[in-house]
Each structure stands twice: as structure tokens, then as C-alpha cells.
């Protein structure tokens, strides 16, 4: 698992660790890791030009010490001090004694433009709000310059805890972060400013408390995959019901069933008007034309994709919400659900909105959901007492228990933004629910396999390609 911790948790762990190690040791560990990443970006350090953006805190100190290391290996370095009276004194002294120069008041942008490598040490976890104008100008110069931009701990200007970006921020090619990931490095929009991530161990692990975020890695996904045993038959492996599609949108039924057939359940029941289209593509499906209530026993329902807005659609949603098994509600189901009926449920409910659907459920503007994804997903989970999978540039899964870390999906790709891709995810995740996974595990594993499948499919991909690649994703995880 990859973890993200809040600033408060990091500060507490740092204080506990600092009491046990020699003064300055943590900063030296940070600087060594940073210099290593800078070396990798430069390829050749000797003769390279480095510009160091230095704010008034320890983040600037890290950058100065790292630059001192690069100076000792033959680089030339210029520091741009945003607040010359308050730059980290010991770091600045080390930088100067290694041969570093300080740019004149108006020479900062020029040094940045000419640099092969820009170290962004303006703000780390002590930053508040978007960058101040002087720092913002340097961030722009770094973006327009020829060198690689390496952020220290965080790209300056992003909100470490929320992943929100209020105003200008540094656009980094890579970020070296210390001790643990910060939420902003894993959640958009901030994560888009961070570039490639590298975690440097500074010995914080034992002192870190509960994380805010976690991201499944291959081994975690493998451990969650449902595997049939010798005793399994199709009913014991779980039956997933799919109430999706309509006369108008039969394709959604086919796509949701395609996902469901590849999610580990032993059988798929389909209920609704899309039966003929489903059977034409997937003859193994158990098809009925009525509502979920009349469809026979299942271990989980998926309701919503392509249902439309008819009375039959409403009945399908109401029936699924009334069923005493886990359910997943997506797309039209999200528009048709009664919030009270969701909150009354005792079995698990998974809601899978994209930003627009989440905005409608919350009564927010869509841009607010996109800009405040972590807040939005937590808020939805709390309001509905449900597990919420918020789709998008970073897919997030929040549990109704606010004490549980939000899960971030690491496998997403922009290629997933294709018609019908969400229907496949719904079927897949519902199938994992029917196979017996807990709601947050089903949702986060569903997102993981779905993203991986998109990465394994030749581009440009269609939703059916995506479903067809799910066995390869499954194999990739378990191999």
C-alpha cells in the first residue's frame, strides 16, 4: 500500500523523531535524497547549471543543502532568495561555502531561464494558499525555461492536505517527498503539478500515525482478487444482478454485463429490456425482462447504467435499493435514487458518480467537485452513509466511516474517458461485491483493474476492448 499523511500527522512524527536524532540529521537525509534525484534528472552533474528557488522555511533549507552537494560534484548553482533576511541560515552558509552564488534582486528569472535544473524550495508543508506574486513569477519562468523542475517535498503553491490549488503553483517534472506522501501528491488537481514522484525515507515510518489516503499497489490488488476454490460452484462464487440498459440504450446493458462477467462472480443475471442485445453478445447470461425484484436471487445488484428515465427505470432503482444485498448505483440510477432510501439500507451501497453526477448529488457546481475532489468524496460518503467511488482524473473511494483512509487509484489513464467505460466499471465492481468483497475493497479493486486494463489495451480503446482486456489485467495482477 502507498500511504498519504496529513501535514499535522507529519509534523507530529517529525517532532518525535527529531527528539531522538542529532540536530539537522533529517534535513541532511532529505538533502541527500534530493541531490540524488537531481543527479538522475541531470544525467551529468559536472558543469550543469542549477537554480535554487529558496523560500523562508526548511523547504528552502533542503534545497540549499542539496544544491551544496551538487556544487561539490562540479555543478554551478545560483540561489534566488525570496526573502533574503529569512532564508534558512545554515543551509545558505553551506551553499555559499560550496561555491554557490546568490542572484541579485532582479536576476532571479534570468538564472532560472538558463538553468539545466531548477530546485523548487519555495514552500513545502508550511505553504499557505497560492504562491505570492514574486514566487509566482519565478514559477512561470521555471515552466518556460529549458531546465527540468524538481520540487522539494511538494510543488510550491498546492495545498498539501487537500490537493486543491488556489492560484499559481510550480509545475514540476518530478517531486522528491520526504518520509511519506502528502495527499496533494496523490490527488488532482495538485497531483498534476507534481510530475514523477520519488519518496525518500528519512526514518519517519515508525512515528507516523493513521494515513489520510492509501493507494493499492499490485500486491494489495492481488491479495484482494477473489479466487475460486475446489469447493466453488457458480452460486458459491456469487451471482451478480445487472439492471442496466433500456430500449433506447441497450449498449449499456451489454457493457455492464461484459464487466460483470469478468469480475469474479460465478454467474450474471440480467434484468431489463436489453436482454436480446445482452444474449447476442454474452449467451452465458441469465436473462429476464422484468424488474430486479422478479429476477431471482443474487448476492449483489448493479443498477443504473443506461436505464433512462422511464417508470420501469424508477422501479428498477427502487427494487435494487430495497434488496437486502450489496448494491452499486451508477449513472441514471444516481439521478433516480431517493437519498432517504440509500440511508435506510443496512447492506452496503456503492455510489459511482463522475464529477457532474457528484455535483448534482451534492448541490455543488461541477468545478467545485473537480477542484475539491477529496472533500467532495468524503462529503458524499457522509451524507449518504455509502461507499462512494468518485471517478475522474484521480479516482477516489471513500468509506462511510470517516475514520478510514480514502483510497486513491493509481492505475488511471486519460484513455478511460471513453463512452461506456463507466458501465464496464459498474459491472466489474458489482461482480466483486457479489464475490464477497467488502464495499471499499470491491470499489478500489474495481478501479484498479479497470485502469490497468486500459493501460494494457492498444489505444485508442473502446469500452468493449476495455472489458475484453480485464482477464489480462487480472492475470497481470496475480502473476
Ligand X SMILES: NC(=O)C1=CN([C@@H]2O[C@H](COP(=O)(O)OP(=O)(O)OC[C@H]3O[C@@H](n4cnc5c(N)ncnc54)[C@H](OP(=O)(O)O)[C@@H]3O)[C@@H](O)[C@H]2O)[C@@H](O)CC1
Which positions lie near ligand X, rule CB under 6 A? 10, 14, 26-27, 30, 55-60, 62, 83, 122-132, 135, 152-153, 178-179, 202, 204
| 120 belongs to the binding site for K ion (CB under 5 A) | yes
Which residue, chain included where needed, has cell 560534484?
73
Q: How far apart are CA 343 and CA 383, in angstroms?
A: 8
- Rank residues 152 and 254 by Cβ distance to ligand X and give the closer one: 152
Q: Please say whether the beta carbons of 242 and 258 come within 8 A.
A: no
Least separation in angstroms between residue 73's CB and ligand X is 21
**Would the annotation count 324 as a binding residue?**
no
Q: Which of K ion, ligand X, none binds 107 (CB below 5-8 Å, type-dependent)? A: none
Least separation in angstroms between residue 85's CB and ligand X is 10
Distance of CA 400 to the CA centre of its chain: 18
| 406 belongs to the binding site for K ion (CB under 5 A) | no
Residue numbers 152-211 binding K ion by CB under 5 A: 152, 156
How big is the CA angle at 458 (ends 453 and 462), to the nearest 5 degrees?
Answer: 70
- Rank residues 176 and 221 by Cβ distance to ligand X and give the closer one: 176
**Would the annotation count 220 as a binding residue?**
no
Q: Which of K ion, ligand X, none binds 55 (CB below 5-8 Å, type-dependent)? A: ligand X
Which residue, chain included where needed, has cell 556544487?
71
**Would the annotation count 234 as a binding residue?**
no
Nearest residue to ligand X on Cβ basis: 124
| 138 belongs to the binding site for K ion (CB under 5 A) | no
Q: Which of ligand X, K ion, none binds 275 (CB below 5-8 Å, type-dependent)? A: none
Q: Which of 441, 450, 440, 444 is nearest to 474 (CA)?
A: 450
Q: How far apart are CA 157 and CA 168, in angstroms?
A: 6
Q: Which of 286, 334, 327, 339 is nearest to 313 (CA)?
A: 334
- Rank residues 119 and 254 by Cβ distance to K ion and give the closer one: 119
Q: How far apart are CA 79 and CA 88, in angstroms?
A: 12
Q: Which of K ion, ligand X, none binds 202 (CB below 5-8 Å, type-dependent)? A: ligand X
Q: Which of ligand X, K ion, none binds 58 (CB below 5-8 Å, type-dependent)? A: ligand X
Q: How far apart are CA 84 and CA 271, in angstroms?
A: 70
Q: How far apart are CA 45 and CA 366, in angstroms?
A: 46
| Burial grade of 30 (CB within 10 A; 0-12, 13-18, 19 or more) | buried
- Give the other-Cβ count within 10 Å of 474's Cβ: 19
Binding-site annotation: residue ranges for AMP: 391-395, 422
Binding-site annotation: residue ranges: 58-62, 120, 124-130, 153, 156, 252, 306, 354, 391-395, 422-423
Binding-site annotation: residue ranges for (6S)-NADPHX: 58-62, 124-130, 153, 252, 306, 354, 423
- Where on the chain is the footprint of K ion (CB under 5 A)? 120, 151-152, 156
Binding-site annotation: residue ranges for K(+): 59, 120, 156
Amino acid at each position: 500500500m502507498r500511504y498519504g499523511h496529513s501535514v499535522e500527522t507529519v509534523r507530529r512524527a517529525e517532532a518525535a523523531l527529531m527528539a531522538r536524532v542529532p540536530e539537522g540529521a533529517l534535513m541532511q537525509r532529505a538533502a541527500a535524497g534530493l541531490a540524488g534525484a537531481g543527479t538522475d534528472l541531470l544525467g551529468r552533474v559536472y558543469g550543469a547549471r542549477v537554480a535554487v528557488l529558496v523560500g523562508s522555511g526548511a523547504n528552502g533549507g533542503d534545497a540549499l543543502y542539496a544544491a551544496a552537494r551538487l556544487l561539490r560534484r562540479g555543478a554551478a548553482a545560483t540561489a534566488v532568495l525570496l526573502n533574503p533576511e529569512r532564508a534558512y541560515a545554515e543551509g545558505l552558509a553551506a551553499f555559499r561555502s560550496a561555491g554557490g552564488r546568490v542572484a541579485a534582486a532582479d536576476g532571479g528569472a534570468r538564472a532560472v531561464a538558463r538553468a539545466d535544473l531548477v530546485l523548487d524550495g519555495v514552500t513545502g508543508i508550511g505553504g499557505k494558499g497560492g504562491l505570492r506574486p514574486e514566487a509566482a513569477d519565478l514559477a512561470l519562468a521555471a515552466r518556460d525555461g529549458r531546465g527540468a523542475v524538481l520540487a522539494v517535498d511538494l510543488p510550491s503553491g498546492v495545498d498539501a492536505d487537500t490537493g486543491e490549488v488556489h492560484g499559481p503553483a510550480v509545475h514540476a517534472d518530478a517531486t522528491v517527498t520526504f518520509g511519506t506522501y502528502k495527499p496533494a501528491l496523490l490527488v488532482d488537481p495538485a497531483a498534476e503539478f507534481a510530475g514523477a514522484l520519488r519518496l525518500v525515507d528519512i526514518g519517519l515510518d515508525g512515528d507516523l500515525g493513521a494515513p489520510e489516503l492509501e493507494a493499492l499497489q499490485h500486491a494489495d490488488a492481488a491479495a484482494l482478487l477473489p479466487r475460486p476454490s475446489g469447493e466453488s460452484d457458480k452460486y458459491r462464487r456469487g451471482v451478480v444482478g445487472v439492471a442496466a440498459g433500456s430500449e433506447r440504450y441497450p449498449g449499456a446493458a451489454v457493457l455492464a454485463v461484459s464487466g460483470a462477467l469478468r469480475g469474479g462472480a460465478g454467474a450474471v443475471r440480467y434484468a431489463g429490456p436489453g436482454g436480446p442485445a445482452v444474449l447476442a453478445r454474452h449467451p452465458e447470461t441469465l436473462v429476464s425482462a422484468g424488474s430486479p425484484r422478479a429476477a431471482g436471487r443474487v448476492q449483489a445488484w448493479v443498477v443504473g447504467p443506461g436505464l433512462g428515465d422511464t417508470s420501469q427505470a424508477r422501479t428498477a432503482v427502487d427494487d435494487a435499493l430495497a434488496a437486502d444485498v450489496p448494491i452499486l448505483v451508477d449513472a441514471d440510477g444516481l439521478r433516480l435514487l431517493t437519498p432517504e432510501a440509500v440511508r435506510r439500507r443496512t447492506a452496503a451501497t456503492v455510489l459511482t458518480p463522475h464529477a457532474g453526477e457528484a455535483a448534482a448529488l451534492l448541490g455543488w457546481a461541477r468545478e467545485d467537485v473537480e477542484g475539491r475532489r477529496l472533500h467532495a468524496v468524503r462529503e458524499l460518503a457522509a451524507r449518504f452513509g455509502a461507499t462512494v467511488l468518485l471517478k475522474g482524473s484521480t479516482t477516489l473511494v471513500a468509506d462511510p466511516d470517516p475514520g478510514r483512509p480514502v483510497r486513491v487509484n493509481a492505475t488511471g489513464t486519460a484513455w478511460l474517458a471513453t463512452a461506456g467505460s463507466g458501465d464496464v466499471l459498474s459491472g466489474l465492481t458489482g461482480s466483486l461485491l457479489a464475490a464477497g468483497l467488502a464495499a471499499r475493497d470491491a470499489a478500489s479493486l474495481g478501479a484498479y483493474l479497470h485502469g490497468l486494463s486500459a493501460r494494457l489495451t492498444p489505444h485508442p480503446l473502446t469500452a468493449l476492448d476495455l472489458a475484453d482486456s480485464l482477464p489480462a489485467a487480472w492475470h497481470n495482477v496475480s502473476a
